[in-house]
Amino acid sequence: MCLATSDEISQSALTEKLSGRYGQPRGLAMGGHVDPAVTERTGLPLLLPFGERLVEMEAWAYADRWIGCGATRTSEGIRPVVVVAERPDPAAGGLPEAASWVDRVALVTGWDPDRARTIDWAAVEARLGTALPSDYKRLAELFGHGALDGFLQLSVPDAPFKSADIVRHTEWLAEWARVHGNRLWQPYDLFPAPGGLLKWAGSEQADQFYWLTDGPDPDKWPIVMSEEIPDSWQRFDGSTAEFIHRMLTDPHHPFSTARYFDVHWFQSYESRDADVD
């Protein structure tokens, strides 16, 4: 579906408005040249109606839809255009038996593994005073700052806001607990107390997701989570990536998004000049 736009609305204004709703877009075409790496998995359906008339196109994934904003040549000159196209399920072909949980999350969301960034984990872990789960580190490199299904927001190093930065927010929580006490996390303690809770994600509905830092091996830390109501703690004995994959695909998961979406996506909040490896 192609949407007509007013002469008074610029392409840049449309892009800014859509970015505020759907996150950072992926560039598919610029200056009349289409990215040769574009596939149906990464937004090709948005390009098909325009052929050689296409000038620019940027794309956002949202559930089973592609949202596109760009410019095309018309008899009246170059005009901005907004396009909505069907987005096939990236995981429709099934999952390889040997796929890791991180690979499964990438596949089910249609995320591009080539967009991974470099993180100085030695510096991050030294500042936190603890090692972190290996699959979480790979997720942070692969996805960066953003939200899965527009719901689960990962805390990652070097996020632009303290609340989304795993290092700065952990330090802030520890200082808050030192001053005000631990009552918000009872019956647990808060990291850096031995075996304390270390937050790795939150949700748009103020749900909180922590590792229970119990034991020397972070890959064996269980996950505990709470809703914004008293005594709502729940525990998951599995890895971070397994938790996320089950959240996306299992309607019986306590924080399932599979109850609402059949097709899944990652909404990136990264800036265009983010460090990509």
Inform me whether the pLDDT recorded for 123 exceeds 50.
yes
Which of 1-10, 233-242, 253-262 is predicted with the least confidence, judged by mean pLDDT? 1-10
pLDDT above 70 (res 49): yes
User: CB–CB of 138/121 below 8 Å?
Assistant: no
Q: Which residues contact 141 (CB under 8 A, 6 or more apart)?
A: 116, 117, 118, 119, 277
Return the higher-pLDDT residue of 8 and 160.
Answer: 160
- 55-92 confidence digits (pLDDT tens): 999 999 999 999 999 999 988 888 899 999 999 999 88
Question: Which whole number is the average pLDDT over 187-192?
Answer: 94
- Mean local confidence (pLDDT), 102-107: 95
User: Does pLDDT of 275 surpass 50?
Assistant: no
What is the distance between the alpha carbons of residues 162 and 64, in angstroms, rounded to a whole number? 32
pLDDT band at 271 (very low <50, low <70, confident <90, very high): low
Assess whether pLDDT exceeds 90 at residue 206: no
Task: Tell me the pLDDT tens digit for each residue of 140-164.
Answer: 999 999 999 999 999 999 998 898 9
pLDDT 10s digits, 126-143: 999 999 999 999 999 999
* Helix 121-128 vs helix 166-180: crossing angle, to nearest 10: 0
Q: Contact at 8 Å (CB) between 146 and 195?
A: no
pLDDT at 276 over 50: no
Mean pLDDT over 99-124 rounds to: 92
Contact 2, 56 (CB under 8 A): no
Half-sphere exposure of 272 (CA within 13 A, CB side): 6
Nearest CA-CA partner of 46 in 72, 73, 24: 72
Quick check: 263 and 90 in contact, CB under 8 A?
Answer: yes
pLDDT for residue 2 is more than 90 = no
* Pairwise CA distance, residues 192 & 201, whole Å: 17
Q: Quick check: 273 pLDDT over 50?
A: no
Per cent of the chain over pLDDT 90 is: 77
Residues 6+ apart with CB under 8 A from 256: 247, 250
How many Å apart are CA 229 and CA 166, to the nearest integer? 23
Residue 274 has pLDDT above 50, yes or no: no
Average confidence (pLDDT) over 235-255: 96
Q: Assess contact for 203 and 152: CB atoms under 8 A.
A: yes
Q: Dump pLDDT digits (tens) for 11-25.
A: 889 999 999 999 999
